[in-house]
Amino acid sequence: MSSDVMEDYLKAIYVLEGETGPPVSTSAVAERLGKTPPTVTSMLGTLEERGLVEREKYEGAELTDEGRTVALEVLRHHRLLEAYLAERLDYSRSEVHDEADALEHHISEEFERRVADTLGDPAVDPHGDPIPGADLQPPAEDDARPLTDFEVGDRVVIARVSDRDDEELEYLDRTGITPGTTIEVRDIAPFGMVTVGVESSADDQSLPEAVAAGVRVRSVEDAGEPTAPNEGVGGV
């Protein structure tokens, strides 16, 4: 049986594998979890002993099938809880992450099922991140790309936004840059500022390049007719 801390590590490794591919470096896990590299190295050794990760010297760690299943279950709990907190308890997008972190390890499978049923088995959480299914199979590969990949004049639909920074999320919510919204790239400054026009808003919004890179989008043609996930959350 895995501990809460072990599950946090497995979830972090799973997310990092999706961002950069396996294996995941010790430094990347340390940065993600706010731990020191020696602490991460020690925990990765424990996870390897439990058969939850495999490690290669100087390369990093990769989830085993068992470790991936555990990570997907925790991630399903986390993202379902985020959706429930946002839709039924009126939490904002910037508030749900920490609450879900505190609860994700402690809900029963029956509670998980009831939450999913109550919400209509949602496909994504309030940030647009895919929720693993009850079968704990990995979600389909995401074809959304960073906003910074697009050029002036491109019209795109926001697929998801990063949940790593509460202040960024609050700003994006205030400006209407939320999952399901159509935006147009208006300007890309040489010093990295990306300016976009947001549908149903007269004002353009400018984003630092680092923030724009965390906004994942699809071209309007690829996205089809956009529909906002978790309608009613944060004005979407």
Among the listed residues 201, 205, 96, the one whose alpha carbon sits nearest the alpha carbon of residue 147:
205
pLDDT of residue 1: 65
Estimate the share of the chain in helix, then strand, then coil, as percent rounded to the nearest 5: 45, 15, 35
Other CB atoms within 10 A of residue 28 CB: 19
For residue 18, name the pLDDT band (cuts at 50, 70, 90).
confident
pLDDT of residue 221: 85
pTM: 0.84
Among the listed residues 104, 64, 62, the one whose alpha carbon sits nearest the alpha carbon of residue 82:
104
CATH 3.30.1360.120 fits 4-63, yes or no: no
- The kind and range of the H/E element at 173 are helix 166-175
Mean pLDDT to the nearest integer, 172-187: 93
Give the CATH H-level superfamily of domain 145-223.
Ferrous iron transport protein A (FeoA) (2.30.30.90)
In angstroms, the Cα distances linking 221 to 144, 160, 198, 224, 226 are: 13, 17, 17, 6, 10
pLDDT of residue 201: 77
Numbered ranges of CATH 2.30.30.90 in the chain: 145-223
For residue 224, name the pLDDT band (cuts at 50, 70, 90).
low
Numbered ranges of CATH 1.10.10.10 in the chain: 4-63
Is the pLDDT at 122 greater than 60? The verdict is: yes
137: left (phi over 0), alpha (psi -120 to 50) or beta: beta
- List of residues 6+ apart from 234 with CB closer than 8 A: 86, 92, 93, 126, 173, 178
- The kind and range of the H/E element at 217 are strand 215-219
